[in-house]
Structures are given as C-alpha cells and as structure tokens.
Amino acid sequence: MSKKIAMIFPGQGSQSIGMGKSFYENSALAREMFEKTGERIGVDFAKLLFEENDQLDKTEYTQPAILLVSMIAYKLFQESRPSDAVMFLGHSLGEFSALCASGAINYVDAVELVHKRGKLMSQACESINAGMMAILGLDDAVVEELCAKANSEGKQVWPANYNQAGQLVVAGIKEDLQSMESVFKEAGAKRALLLNMSIASHCPLLSSAMEPLGEAMEAMVNDSFSAPIVSNVTTEKYATKSEALKLLKVQLIQPVKYKQSIEAVAGEIDMMIEFGNGAVLKGLNKRNAPDVETLGISDMESLSKVCEALS
C-alpha cells in the first residue's frame, strides 16, 4: 500500500550561503530554473546563493531564493521518483512553495510573486522600527495573555509564529518587544531573544501589503490544485484560487499556526517530506508529530537517500 505523504516547505530563516549549489552543479533542470527565474526578476541567483553577500538576508531576495531552491528540490524528486501528495503544507513563505508544488502557480510566476511579497513587507515596515522576538519555554496561552495585556497598554506586540511547544515568535515594534523581554522572563521564559530582522511578519503592521499582494496573486494563481494545501491561518485545507487569494492575503497579518497544522493532519498521513535548504521543519516535527517520519531533500545526496527510502 502506498504511503500517504504530506509534502512540506520551509520559510524565511532557512536560507544560507551555498544552498542549492549541489542541485546547480549536478542538474541541467536546476540550472535552467536558476536562469529563468533570474531573468524574470533581474537577479543572478548563482551569485546571490553561492557568493558571500548581504543581499540574501534581505526579505525581497530571501523569499524568492528559498522558494526557488525548494521548487528545484521538489521537481528533481518528482523527476526521480514521481509521487503524489495527499496534501501540501508550508511555513509562512513555504505556503507559496506549497501552492507552486500543487500546480496552482507556475514556479517562475511564484518567484516573481514572493519577490513582490518581500518588497511589500519591507515597505510596510520601512517607516517603523519593526522586529520579531523568539520566546522559548513558555506555554502559548501565557504568551498570548502577556501580548494581549501589552496591547491594552498601547504596545504593539503580537504572537506571530507557533513553531512547536515552548517556541513561539512574537512580532511588533522593536522598542515594545525589548520592553517585553523582562516580562516574558519573569513569567518563566527560558529565553526572549530579539531576532535579527527589520520586518514584523504575521501581524497587523503588514496590513498595507495585503491588497497589492492580492492583486498580484489574482493574475498568477489558477485553480489547478493536484492536492489541497493546509492553511497557516486556519489549519484547514483549501484547494481553490479564491480561497488561496483570501488566505494568503490574511496570512500577512495573522500568526502562522505551524504547530497546530501539523498536529491537525498528523493522523491523516504516514510521512512528511521537506523540500528546501536545511532541515528546519524536520526539527520542529520531532516535537509536533513524533510518530510521523519526516524526510528532507536539500541536496543531491539527500535526494538519493529519500528516493531509496521510498523504493
């Protein structure tokens, strides 16, 4: 009996210099994808990904780079061992990779779309001192309560990424986040770490990006879903263009419920395969769904190992 596989895709923070190089050096398809996407948005992806630079961590470049490497991994896997997914799922930006893998958007269009998304997010935060903070060792409910109390006092701090039990990232105005560091620690947090970011993802500070992102998606997304996508916003599945447009716009200002999504679908699947650099989601899934194996494809060696494991 064939395994029920969820194909999953990482988001921002998974990037690193050198990612995708194994694919680029060993696959004509990978080189073609580098070239086509680079031409579309005017970026030399080989230079961006393989040479030391300060561009890769800028969100308008981070997002297309991560999506490109994820889609190369996915397409090479499908070329090596064609496999159907019962669902697709991504973490934040990774939901756009999931949309692409499902067939609802062409990979070149998807790279252009997330390049625009990154620009819109940066623009929304350019006139404010925005940031994000990782909270370790506190229950979600405690973080939520502390953020709600801060909101009532006029501070702009919100839960942004539910990654795993005891790991929640909050977003908002940097000064407000810094003022909350001692509050989180007094409540029992092991760490309250301000991240090296100049945007505040998945909170109301990005509301100005919603409509222009929706307009760009309208022209690029279609209704050809090979399998449903699990929404970061609702943890429920969708498989239509209209739902994708609505949910991916709202995703900008609503928290990523990654932990809850994995918990919601774990009973429906036998395995997850992560496509893209590193093994960020595989690490999270050890706690989110310890009984479901997660394999990862980030280079040619891991591609071979996953194909062998499935044969």
Which residues are tagged catalytic? Answer: 92, 202
Rounded to 5°, angle at Cα 110 from 108 and 111: 70
Number of Cβ atoms within 10 Å of the Cβ of 86: 17
105 to 84, 99, 102, 271, 306: CA distances (angstroms):
17, 6, 8, 25, 25
Residue ranges with strand state E in 70-156: 87-90, 130-136
Residue in the block written with tokens 């395994």: 3
As a whole number of angstroms, the distance between CA 165 and CA 140 comes to 8
Count Cα atoms within 13 angstroms, Cβ side, for 146. 24
Q: What are the percentages of helix, strand and coil residues in the chain, rounded to 5? A: 50, 15, 35
The token duo for 239 is: 């498989």
20 to 27, 65, 71, 178, 282: CA distances (angstroms):
11, 9, 10, 35, 18
Strand partners, 159: 170
- The CA radius of gyration of the chain, in Å to the nearest whole number, is 19
Q: What letter represents residue 18's amino acid?
A: G
